[in-house]
Structure 1
Amino acid sequence: MLKQLPLVGFLLLISACKPVSEQDSANTLKPLVPLCIASQSQCQVNTKLANFSIKFSQQYLSDKVKTELPFFIELVELIELTESPQSEQITKKNTTNITAYLEGKDMFMGKVPVFFEQSGKDGVYLAQSLLASCSDEQMVWRLWITADISGQTQTFFVDFTSQRL
């Protein structure tokens, strides 16, 4: 009987666990409130083809993205108001095929691909990423974004600082 006790305890322990697929869906990270952080070079990027807002969200986000923790990047195509003789019109560009990657600005850490997906809202794109820790306490990263906008390609970047955990 005593020989079976560890086996019974083990079976009780694993029976309380959820299957991995249920655990993953229950613990899926959801974007927090996206913010323009102090360490960003710019929060709004105005290109010749369209204007974008770029914000970050992370569980422990202050003014820097923490390394080794997942974080979200929100890319929003801003709607332009154009004045016409009759009334104001809202114009939106046709942004497609967004590709992006992260790289160290001053130190080569490789290229980290960033995959934006359109959220439920039109013109809003979300990506989740993770940064490797650097030997320095802080590091400046550059987010490169390329998008096809109304049939033309536009590339732009935003710098931001990460902090080692």
Structure 2
Amino acid sequence: MIFTLLLTACSPQNENNASVNAESARTAQCLALQSQCQFDLMSGQVEVLFDVEKIIAEQSFNMVVNYHGTETLMSISGYLEGVDMFMGKIPLFIEERLSGSLKDNSKKSSAANTLLIDVDAKLQSKENALVIDEIRQTFQGEVLVGSCSAEQMTWRIWLTFTTNENKTYNKTFTVESYRM
């Protein structure tokens, strides 16, 4: 009888549930205690997402940066540092992603969408509108935060965006991490 219970507990259905849970954990999302998920750049908009529901100290996670705008981003650099406690500056290595392993519904910049921008509020026809290509890019970096004595810690993330026209934009936001 005990043998039958053990066999029932190890059914393939449990394996399917585990793979579904692993897949949903890989979906890029905004964190519950993230100070800002989206922000504007002069040339477009940025969305910063994570592949975990909450950040656990000493467990790596991915940060996904989705960009759409009128200029191409050449690079994103940055670092994070502790707000509550000095933990040093942890560099972020963020690279453009050509094809995704995370679900974020982004396309490479070669699949530019057309955006109609109205030149003058009085002009309503398509013939009188300026057509500009909208660039879509996705960047990703693996991140690991250190553990400290506090159960919860606030981290400030500093990002620098450099465009193909050598313009730079700096943005900061905060996230929370937890000890295991």
**Alpha-carbon distance between aligned partners in 1 of 2:75 and 2:95, rounded to the nearest angstrom:** 10
**Alpha-carbon distance between aligned partners in 2 of 1:57 and 1:137, rounded to the nearest angstrom:** 21
**Residue aligning to 2:63:** 73
**Alpha-carbon distance between aligned partners in 2 of 1:157 and 1:54, rounded to the nearest angstrom:** 11
Shift of 1:94: 1.4
Shift of 1:106: 2.8
Question: What pairs up with 1:1-165 in 2 under 5 angstroms?
Answer: 32-58=26-52, 61=53, 64-79=54-69, 92-120=70-98, 121-122=108-109, 123-149=137-163, 150-165=165-180
How far does the alpha carbon of each residue in 1:76-129 deviate from its partner, in whole angstroms, 9 at most, with x for none? Answer: 1124xxxxxxxxxxxx32111211111112321001111111111331000001
Which of structures 1 and 2 has the larger relative contact order (alpha carbons within 8 angstroms, sep 6+)? Answer: 2
Which structure 1 segments of 5+ residues have no match?
A: 1-29, 80-91
**Alpha-carbon distance between aligned partners in 2 of 1:45 and 1:104, rounded to the nearest angstrom:** 22
CA contact (8 A) 2:75 2:95 kept: no
Return structure 1 stretches of 4+ with deviation > 4 angstroms: none
How many pairs were matched up? Answer: 120
With structure 2 as the length reference, what TM-score do the two structures score? Answer: 0.62
**Alpha-carbon distance between aligned partners in 2 of 1:49 and 1:99, rounded to the nearest angstrom:** 17
Aligned residues: CA RMSD: 1.7
**Residue aligning to 2:9:** none
